[in-house]
């Protein structure tokens, strides 16, 4: 009985999981939403990063620079990550699908949050030392 339930579960849920995980368009939409959300912080960052005169226009109810900056960078890093994963899926969809079917879990190439690994190793994009440092900070 347990084997039958497992088989039914895999037959029903695994294809849905594969469809959802390997939908590059969903990763792109998520990336775009993350970029949009991050951009909501840009005005606060301009005030906080700007000349000292700008501090006088800062409302005391605004969050601190380190808080806003941290959220901004986190959202931007997830946006870049999602866009990279969309490209990885577009380039390797059938290989990734076979890996999911075989291992019944998310492929390692989609598990990582390491932007340098995604950009340089998985996508083969040549980046400068400055770009690599930025990705490392993100």
pLDDT tens-digit profile of 6-45?
A: 555 666 688 999 999 999 999 999 999 999 999 988 887 8
User: Whole-angstrom Cα distance, residue 72 to residue 15?
Assistant: 35
Determine the average pLDDT of the residues in 55-70: 68
Tell me the per-residue pLDDT of 42-56, one tens digit each, with 9 for 90 and over: 887 877 776 654 556
For residue 100, how far is the Cα from the chain centroid? 20
Non-local (6+) Cβ contacts of 27 within 8 A are 82, 83, 85, 86, 89
Q: Is the whole-model pTM more than 0.85?
A: no
pLDDT at 1 over 90: no
Task: With CA atoms as reference, report the closest residue to 116 among 95, 100, 105, 130.
Answer: 130
Tell me the per-residue pLDDT of 91-121, one tens digit each, with 9 for 90 and over: 999 999 999 999 988 999 899 999 999 999 9
The answer to whether the beta carbons of residues 59 and 44 sit under 8 Å apart is: no
- Residue 9 is predicted with a pLDDT of 66
Assigned token pair, 103: 């291992």
Non-local (6+) Cβ contacts of 81 within 8 A are 113, 115, 118
pLDDT at 67 over 70: yes
User: Whole-angstrom Cα distance, residue 27 to residue 78?
Assistant: 10
């Amino acid at each position: 009985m347990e084997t039958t339930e497992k088989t039914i579960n895999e037959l029903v849920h695994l294809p849905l999981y594969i469809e959802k995980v390997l939908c590059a368009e969903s990763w792109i939409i998520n990336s775009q939403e993350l970029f949009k959300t991050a951009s909501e912080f840009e005005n606060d960052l301009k005030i906080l990063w700007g000349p000292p005169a700008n501090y006088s226009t800062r409302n005391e109810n605004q969050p601190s620079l380190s808080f806003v900056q941290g959220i901004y960078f986190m959202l931007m890093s997830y946006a870049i990550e999602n866009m990279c994963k969309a490209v990885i899926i577009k380039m390797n969809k059938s290989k990734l699908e076979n890996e999911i079917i075989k291992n019944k879990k998310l492929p390692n190439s989609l598990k990582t949050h390491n932007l340098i690994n995604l950009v340089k190793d998985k996508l083969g994009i040549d980046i400068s030392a400055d770009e690599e440092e930025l990705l490392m900070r993100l």
